[in-house]
A and B are shown apart, each in its own frame.
Chain A
């Protein structure tokens, strides 16, 4: 078992990789009385088609999410929710673009719950009847999200930015596609992607790491490494698909969405370093202490704002989504900011200080910590032991050089207005 000391945080993580490729990450806390376990596969809605042994398979949209729902069916009739509930333990699952995870968290019966989490995710039970039954539930879930204007704005923005990427499609798919999913489709996905060398276990909190490892080995060591299929996808072009679009929706106050699409080909930075610098640039430009925010506040043209970065192969996309009574003016202000990016040394150092402080604060909060480690495992294939040092070592010169390399005008703008 490899020890990963998280520098500056008074805690260590541990990693073990089984011979079949399954990765296990553990973060035991000495002073907590609760725990959190997630069992994940690197399979999400991004896979629309795959190829294995020269055979191509096209998948119905929304199948990864459908599969997540159906994993809760068990041949012995025991509902996993009920199993966990017996010890007052909560359980859940979620599907994203590039992963699906099954979680349980509580304070009791760690060993039994870990064993059962592995057990139920390892034993699919699909019947025609239980597959049909799920369609009504998923239909309501799709409708629920479609009624949220911010969600719709983000989806429409993705459709404007990307030409071919699977990110154009809702994680839950469409009702039409969901209706044609069969139990055979589910088995196909399960067989190919729920294999040890495509999965990992991550746990944090109160537990004995040796005991946990013993259980995992017993439950999963017998499974074999499998050949992973290749994802069939068209290369996403550098330019955006559509520069502008206006939607008429059920909103009283207009919303805007701007997405800057950046090709990472030619940028010589490692993934984590690139993410830190990109995040730094947009935090300084649009973050809560930015000059931009004060300016648009004074002008009364910004009511709420949300920002995020997204990564797909060779592309990084920066999203800004906002609510404004004067959308045209707000768009102009954002564009102005992107056209003349200037970063002061003082601000750069202050944001570094904030990020370092936030790393220290976060470790006390197990939920945030586990989400953060989960993202690091997905993005960088590891837990980063020295994030604080990496933040501390960031240089403004590097930041400025990166700003120069990027075409900040390669963007899509969406406006959402009242019907």
Chain B
């Protein structure tokens, strides 16, 4: 694998050369400081851009074209990292060796068409009828939000944890913002994204670098050169002195528990090394403390795990439980976190966590999407290459992990309480 980064003025081009795949994958990533009211607009925007373009007047004709290009799949996504919203357009196409000469070039041109040539009316706005289609579907998604009870419990827990902070923003969007979107405001959102967002383009595959630079320059033209101002990292929230218990009922059989913990005053080193291991030890997988104690020894749940949001300095524990076991489960989790703070875990646990990190790192280059994500995270967090990080991770000591655990404190305990009467 060979990585080359090129600053092309208006955007950064990241070329990841590898012979591992029969495909070439390209991801165009826009990012800008997140504004709550713009999230819904961004979702509608990425959706409407896939409904039609100047050249292809319907979603069907777009899909047929991607099929004709030997199944050149296109997808989009919006997600938040710290203070920023990231909007991605991804395309994967087979290399010409497996199709015909010129196919890959056409596929890139096709992605360029989707991003740069929207299906505008003569007045230069999106089409009302397309906006209606997208709004109807977004509306359904917003209305169905509780169908994913785990996801919903995390949203509600985040809102209880720190209202008004990006941590609590719903990436699915908001009904009132959806209602306010017009073809004009959407055009404005599109233009701002193209003109003002920071842009990174990632390409993974087996290609000639010089030729690839020319191809990218041909189909992806951005004008402005932008300088970053706002930091990526969110300031860690100050932990409440008394834990907040929040609750909402749902007509389900199972209850979902979500515990939010701010991590105070993390150093850069702690954020990227000991914290990763701390998370793996307490709730990373089937061998973790929480899985073993809460599920295996006490039969209180089927799922339990922890996760870390490095850029937000938040540590989260999730579990699916019976509401009758709420207190017992919270007590057990509290006890386990306390044990970690006291250093009641073994060198062997650290070694296992290091092994998992090492395996995950080795697997990165087996998946083109993971390679891109990794590369993006290195940019955002200013991390050294993976090889260096593996070496550094191996050097993390128990006292460093204990020190990080001591910075993790329970702030908000949210229960999405399933109140369905089981007799019915």
Instruction: Tell me if A86 is interfacial: C-beta within 8 Å of chain B.
Output: yes
Tell me if B287 and A34 are in contact (CB < 8 A): no
- Take A360-B98, A361-B94 as given contacts and tell me if A134 and B302 are in contact as well, using a CB distance cutoff of 8 Å: no
Tell me if B301 and A140 are in contact (CB < 8 A): yes
Tell me the chain A residues, 356-370 only, with Cβ under 8 Å from chain B. 357-358, 360-361, 363-366
Which of A141, A358, A361 is most buried by chain B, counting CB atoms within 10 A of its CB? A361
Choose from B22, B132, B141, B144 the contact partner of A364 (Cβ within 8 Å). B22
Tell me the chain B residues, 352-402 only, with Cβ under 8 Å from chain A. 352, 354-360, 362-363, 365-367
Instruction: Tell me if B70 is interfacial: C-beta within 8 Å of chain A.
Output: yes
Choose from B19, B140, B146, B420 the contact partner of A31 (Cβ within 8 Å). B19
Tell me if A364 and B320 are in contact (CB < 8 A): no
Rounded to whole angstroms, the CA-CA distance of A349 and B34 in the bound complex is 45
Q: How far is the CB of A66 from chain B (nearest CB, A)?
A: 13
Q: Mark A256-297, 1 if CB is under 8 A from B, else 0.
A: 000000000000000000000000000000001111011001
Rounded to whole angstroms, the CA-CA distance of A146 and B424 in the bound complex is 13
- Give the chain B neighbours of A138 by CB distance below 8 A: 302
Instruction: Tell me if B313 is interfacial: C-beta within 8 Å of chain A.
Output: no
- The interface-forming segment of B58-66, B78-86, B212-220, B332-340 is B58-66
**Closest chain A residue to B361, Cβ basis:** A107
Q: Mark A314-345, 1 if CB is under 8 A from B, else 0.
A: 00000000010100000000000000000000
Tell me if A88 and B147 are in contact (CB < 8 A): no
Tell me if B359 and A108 are in contact (CB < 8 A): yes
Tell me if B253 and A146 are in contact (CB < 8 A): yes
Choose from A91, A147, A290 the contact partner of B286 (Cβ within 8 Å). A91
Q: How far is the CB of A41 from chain B (nearest CB, A)?
A: 21
- Take A88-B352, A357-B70 as given contacts and tell me if A32 and B366 are in contact as well, using a CB distance cutoff of 8 Å: yes
Rounded to whole angstroms, the CA-CA distance of A289 and B356 in the bound complex is 41
Tell me if B303 and A144 are in contact (CB < 8 A): yes
Rounded to whole angstroms, the CA-CA distance of A198 and B301 in the bound complex is 32
Instruction: Tell me if A87 is interfacial: C-beta within 8 Å of chain B.
Output: yes
**Closest chain B residue to A205, Cβ basis:** B366
- Give the chain B neighbours of A140 by CB distance below 8 A: 254, 300-303, 320-322
Tell me if B64 and A289 are in contact (CB < 8 A): yes
Tell me if A34 and B366 are in contact (CB < 8 A): yes
Tell me if A134 and B299 are in contact (CB < 8 A): yes
Q: How far is the CB of B83 from chain A (nearest CB, A)?
A: 32
Instruction: Tell me if A56 is interfacial: C-beta within 8 Å of chain B.
Output: no
Rounded to whole angstroms, the CA-CA distance of A360 and B143 in the bound complex is 39
Rounded to whole angstroms, the CA-CA distance of A106 and B63 in the bound complex is 36
Tell me if A297 and B59 are in contact (CB < 8 A): yes
Tell me if A90 and B285 are in contact (CB < 8 A): yes
Q: How far is the CB of B24 from chain A (nearest CB, A)?
A: 11
Rounded to whole angstroms, the CA-CA distance of A32 and B362 in the bound complex is 10
Q: Mark B27-68, 1 if CB is under 8 A from A, else 0.
A: 000000000000000000000000000000011100110011
- Give the chain A neighbours of B67 by CB distance below 8 A: 289, 350-351, 353-354
**Closest chain B residue to A140, Cβ basis:** B302
- Give the chain A neighbours of B140 by CB distance below 8 A: 253, 303-304, 323, 325
Rounded to whole angstroms, the CA-CA distance of A31 and B365 in the bound complex is 11
Q: Mark A31-57, 1 if CB is under 8 A from B, else 0.
A: 111100000000000000000000000
- Take A133-B299, A146-B253, A289-B63 as given contacts and tell me if A88 and B356 are in contact as well, using a CB distance cutoff of 8 Å: yes
Q: How far is the CB of A150 from chain B (nearest CB, A)?
A: 8
Rounded to whole angstroms, the CA-CA distance of A365 and B23 in the bound complex is 11
Tell me if B285 and A85 are in contact (CB < 8 A): yes
Rounded to whole angstroms, the CA-CA distance of A364 and B365 in the bound complex is 12
Rounded to whole angstroms, the CA-CA distance of A290 and B141 in the bound complex is 23
Tell me if B99 and A86 are in contact (CB < 8 A): no
- Give the chain A neighbours of B250 by CB distance below 8 A: 250
- Take A89-B359, A107-B362 as given contacts and tell me if A364 and B20 are in contact as well, using a CB distance cutoff of 8 Å: yes
Tell me if A34 and B363 are in contact (CB < 8 A): yes
Instruction: Tell me if A112 is interfacial: C-beta within 8 Å of chain B.
Output: no
- Take A81-B286, A149-B147 as given contacts and tell me if A303 and B71 are in contact as well, using a CB distance cutoff of 8 Å: no
Tell me if A33 and B252 are in contact (CB < 8 A): no
- Take A31-B19, A88-B352, A88-B356 as given contacts and tell me if A137 and B295 are in contact as well, using a CB distance cutoff of 8 Å: yes
Instruction: Tell me if B330 is interfacial: C-beta within 8 Å of chain A.
Output: no
- Give the chain A neighbours of B23 by CB distance below 8 A: 361, 364
Which of B92, B254, B303 is most buried by chain A, counting CB atoms within 10 A of its CB? B254
Rounded to whole angstroms, the CA-CA distance of A91 and B287 in the bound complex is 10
**Closest chain B residue to A418, Cβ basis:** B143
Tell me the chain A residues, 74-123 only, with Cβ under 8 Å from chain B. 79, 81-82, 84-92, 106-108
Q: Mark A118-157, 1 if CB is under 8 A from B, else 0.
A: 0000000000000001111111110110111110000000
Rounded to whole angstroms, the CA-CA distance of A50 and B286 in the bound complex is 34
Rounded to whole angstroms, the CA-CA distance of A291 and B322 in the bound complex is 46
Q: How far is the CB of B69 from chain A (nearest CB, A)?
A: 9
Choose from B68, B300, B354, B359 the contact partner of A107 (Cβ within 8 Å). B359
Rounded to whole angstroms, the CA-CA distance of A291 and B61 in the bound complex is 10
Tell me if A88 and B253 are in contact (CB < 8 A): no
- Give the chain A neighbours of B366 by CB distance below 8 A: 32-34, 366
Instruction: Tell me if A251 is interfacial: C-beta within 8 Å of chain B.
Output: yes
Instruction: Tell me if B136 is interfacial: C-beta within 8 Å of chain A.
Output: yes
Rounded to whole angstroms, the CA-CA distance of A395 and B418 in the bound complex is 53
Q: How far is the CB of B235 from chain A (nearest CB, A)?
A: 34
Rounded to whole angstroms, the CA-CA distance of A363 and B23 in the bound complex is 11
- Give the chain B neighbours of A397 by CB distance below 8 A: none
Tell me if B303 and A361 are in contact (CB < 8 A): no
**Closest chain A residue to B132, Cβ basis:** A300
Q: How far is the CB of B211 from chain A (nearest CB, A)?
A: 22
Tell me if A33 and B302 are in contact (CB < 8 A): no
Tell me if A361 and B295 are in contact (CB < 8 A): no
Q: Mark B275-301, 1 if CB is under 8 A from A, else 0.
A: 000000000011100011001100111
Tell me if A136 and B253 are in contact (CB < 8 A): no
Instruction: Tell me if B137 is interfacial: C-beta within 8 Å of chain A.
Output: yes
Choose from A147, A149, A357, A366 the contact partner of B254 (Cβ within 8 Å). A147
- Take A147-B149, A252-B144, A354-B71 as given contacts and tell me if A108 and B303 are in contact as well, using a CB distance cutoff of 8 Å: no
Tell me if B68 and A350 are in contact (CB < 8 A): yes
Choose from A106, A141, A148 the contact partner of B359 (Cβ within 8 Å). A106
- Take A144-B302, A300-B132, A323-B140 as given contacts and tell me if A363 and B363 are in contact as well, using a CB distance cutoff of 8 Å: no
Choose from B64, B71, B286, B303 the contact partner of A357 (Cβ within 8 Å). B71
- Give the chain A neighbours of B359 by CB distance below 8 A: 34, 87-90, 106-108
Choose from A137, A351, A363 the contact partner of B302 (Cβ within 8 Å). A137
A-B pairs, top 9 by smallest CB distance, nearest first, are A88-B355, A136-B299, A88-B359, A85-B287, A294-B60, A81-B286, A357-B70, A357-B71, A141-B302
Besides A137-B295, A143-B254, A365-B367, 16 other CB < 8 A contacts? Answer: A34-B362, A88-B354, A88-B358, A133-B299, A150-B147, A252-B144, A253-B143, A294-B60, A303-B137, A303-B140, A303-B141, A323-B140, A353-B67, A357-B70, A358-B71, A364-B21
Offer 5 A-B interface pairs, CB within 8 angstroms, sorted by A.
Answer: A32-B366, A34-B362, A86-B352, A350-B67, A364-B20
